[in-house]
Amino acid sequence: MAAARARAFENPFVYGEVVPASAFVGREAELDRLVRDLVSGQKVFLVSPRRYGKSSLIRRAAERIARDGVLTVELTVSSYSSYLAFLEGFARAVVAHTGPVEGWARRLREWLRGVRTDVRAAPDASRGSGAADLAFPGIRSARDEARLAADVFALPQRVADLRGRPVVVALDEFQDVAQFDGGSVEQALRAAVQHQRDVGYVFAGSEPTLMEQMVSPRRPFYKAGPVMRLERLPADVFAAFVERQFATHGRPVVAGLGEAIVDLAGNLPYDVQRLAHELWDDTGGLARPLGLEDLHRTLGRLLGEQRLLFEGLWQRLTLLQRATLRAVVFEEGHELLSAATRERYRLGGPSSVQSALGALTRHEIIQRDEGAYVVVDSLFREWVARTTY
pLDDT at 121 > cutoff 60? yes
β-pair partners for 76: 172
**Sign of the torsion angle spanned by Cα atoms 228, 233, 237, 240:** positive
pLDDT at 3 > cutoff 70? no
pLDDT at 4 > cutoff 50? no
Given 3.40.50.300, 3.40.50.261, 3.90.79.10, 3.30.70.270, which CATH number is that of 27-229?
Answer: 3.40.50.300
Q: Report yes or no: 327 and 336 within 8 Å, Cβ to Cβ.
A: yes
Which CATH architecture group holds 233-305?
A: Orthogonal Bundle (1.10)
Residue 131's Cβ-count burial label (10 Å; 0-12, 13-18, 19+) is middle
β-pair partners for 204: 46
C-alpha to C-alpha distance for 229 and 211, rounded to whole angstroms: 10
Nearest alpha-carbon partner for 192 in 142, 159, 157: 157
| Predicted local distance difference test score (pLDDT) of residue 22 | 65
Single-letter code of the amino acid located at 319: L
Q: Looking at the domain covering 316-387, what would its CATH class be? A: mainly alpha
DSSP state string for 228-246: EEPPPPPHHHHHHHHHHHH
141-150, 179-188, 379-388, range with the lowest pLDDT = 179-188
Are domains 233-305 and 316-387 of this chain identical in fold? no
β-pair partners for 374: 367
pLDDT in tens, 320-329: 999 999 999 9
pLDDT in tens, 210-249: 888 888 888 888 888 899 898 888 899 899 999 999 998 8
Question: Which sequence spans correspond to the domains of the chain?
Answer: 27-229, 233-305, 316-387
β-strands 43-47, 227-229 pairing: parallel
pLDDT in tens, 57-108: 999 899 999 999 999 999 999 999 999 999 999 999 998 887 777 778 788 8
Longest pairwise C-alpha distance within the chain:
70
How many angstroms separate the first and last alpha carbons of the chain?
A: 55
